[in-house]
Amino acid sequence: MSCGLLVVIDGSKGFRAAVRKVFGKRALVQRCQWYKRENIVSYLPKKDQAYWRKCLQHAYERPNYNEARQELLKICSKLVIINESAVRSLDEGFEETFTLYRLGLFPLLGKSLKTTNIIESVNSQAEERCSKVDHWKNSNQKHRWLSAALLDIEPRLNKLIGYYHLPSLRKAIMKDLNLNHIIQESEQVA
């Protein structure tokens, strides 16, 4: 892989380790803000969860990196008194929840790429089409069914909100990963 990549994942340590192993320093990670928020509030008493969920959501909706980060740090300072496990959850992968902000593209692509909802929707639709098969003869059969399901789903998929900003995302990723020479080469070819 010569150019960079943005990987949107939930908080699974296995996913994070796999991204690191497969892509090394060629991938930026955007942690799913929805999963992060839900994980944090899961440590809190039920009666307080709605309040903290709203606070976290408000912080993640700030217009830029500095404001969002400062808002979450304020929340962290309040949570430390209430529940240390919630604070550890907030701290874990903290900066990776701001990758789109750091790249300067949150207002343009954040609605689609701040969560794993896009891929979960595809997975859910594929599951609907393949879940009724109880016995797979072999993995090849499973792959063919999944391929057929994805082809069936494709016409009903919506375009990524802000898809026309993807070239800007590519340039921002390459700049962040210090791959500017690839940008220059691709511009010379075009």
Per-residue pLDDT, 123: 86
Distance CA 65, CA 159 (A): 26
User: Residue type for 21, please?
Assistant: K
SS3 106: helix
Helix axes 166-176, 180-189, angle to 10 degrees: 140
Tokens for 153?
């789903």
**In the chain, beta strands by DSSP E:** 5-9, 27-31
Per-residue pLDDT, 149: 87
Distance CA 101, CA 164 (A): 18
Per-residue pLDDT, 128: 87
Closest alpha carbon to 176 in 90, 92, 105: 105
Distance CA 168, CA 171 (A): 5
Distance CA 43, CA 87 (A): 9
**pTM score, two decimals?**
0.81
Neighbouring residues of 96: CB distance < 8 A, sequence distance ≥ 6: 29, 30, 31
Per-residue pLDDT, 184: 57
Per-residue pLDDT, 71: 96
* Ordered mean pLDDT values, 10 residues apiece, the chain (190 residues): 83 87 92 94 96 96 94 95 95 93 93 88 86 83 88 86 92 90 58
Distance CA 30, CA 2 (A): 20
